[in-house]
Amino acid sequence: MTKQIDFSRFSSIKVGPVSDVIVVNDCSELPRNAHIIGSCSNILISDNPPPLCMLSKAFDFIMIKNDLLHIGAATPSGKIVSFCKKHDIGGFEFLAHLPGKLGGLVKMNAGLKEYEIFNNLVSLRTCSGEFPKESLEFGYRYTKIEGMILEAAFAYERGFDPAKVEMFRKMRANQPSTPSAGSCFKNPPGEYAGRLIEAVGLKGKRLGGMGWSDVHANFLVNYGGGTFVEAMELIEEAEEMVLQAYNITLEREIIIL
Ligand SMILES: Cc1cc2nc3c(=O)[nH]c(=O)nc-3n(C[C@H](O)[C@H](O)[C@H](O)COP(=O)(O)OP(=O)(O)OC[C@H]3O[C@@H](n4cnc5c(N)ncnc54)[C@H](O)[C@@H]3O)c2cc1C
């Protein structure tokens, strides 16, 4: 089955064309060369994207089984937090204001400071089988996971902590509310990408509808009607200027398709 998606509405950065996306119900339907998308909170879609696929609603589930939390890869972060609140489960409060679905959160090892989705991960399942955490390569906003993540199992502790939800909300106070895909670049070791972008004078710079946020320089934001071409010009300019000024190669956190 395919679904038409308007990426200028669907993606968090509100950029992209209307495009067909293959909806996958099980592994037999997984197209070979299609790129996987979750909720597109970390993806910038070009005007001519490659073939795209996403998991169907069959993978939007969450349950406790054998003392582990089993979460389907199409489950949104907000639903995970609601479940944890309802069942008095702790350790997932950091997802409260972190947009994404479980598959994207795991693939990106999403998190905030020392709180990362891999912290509680026990194993995950892809179309190639079950993989214990110990067998996976992962790091800061990085994993090496091949293929479509279908679901993952997590250890959990008792006690949902609303104070932590509030703490994470406050930690986001320096992030813009204008549409974005989150941080554009990873922080280089011992540095902050936002500080570097600001230091080369790009904080607040606009090009058409896109710009580097004047709230947080590492957020590429869409003020309305921003295009892929404008976004790429800003990204490449920042990379070039930071390289020239500091000899630092910024690594993109945003995924460009
Ligand atoms: C306002 C805002 C704030 C943000 N703050 C943070 C933050 O504090 N910390 C942080 O880490 N991130 C942050 N992000 C980025 C984003 O929330 C995360 O990267 C999130 O994990 C993306 O999930 P997604 O479902 O939208 O994935 P997508 O953006 O759709 O995809 C991201 C990557 O995951 C892959 N992927 C998606 N689903 C699957 C699957 N089922 N199997 C295999 N691969 C898959 C895609 O191919 C792609 O490579 C923020 C984004 C926004 C818009």
Fold of 2-57: 3.30.43
What is the distance of C-alpha 159 from the center of its chain? 26
pTM for the whole thing? Answer: 0.95
Q: Are 186 and 196 in contact (CB under 8 A)?
A: no
> 183 an active-site residue?
yes
Class of domain 59-168: alpha beta
**pLDDT tens-digit series, residues 109-167:** 999 988 999 999 999 999 999 999 999 999 999 999 999 999 999 999 999 999 999 99
CA of 156 to the centre of ligand 1 (A): 22
**pLDDT tens-digit series, residues 25-59:** 998 888 888 999 999 999 999 999 999 999 999 99
Question: Average pLDDT, whole number, for the chain?
Answer: 96
Domain ranges across the chain = 2-57, 59-168, 176-256
> 134 an active-site residue?
no
Task: For residue 126, give the ligand 1 atom closest to its CA.
Answer: 42
Active-site pick, 183, 213, 230, 239:
183
Pocket of ligand 1 (CB under 6 A): 12, 35-43, 55, 73, 98-101, 103-105, 107-108, 110-112, 141, 148-149, 175, 180-182, 255
Note the pLDDT of residue 85. 97
> 177 an active-site residue?
no
Class of domain 176-256: alpha beta
Beta strands in 47-194 (DSSP E): 52-55, 62-65, 68-72, 89-90, 111-112, 115-116, 121-126, 129-132, 137-139, 142-144, 149-154, 157-158, 180-183
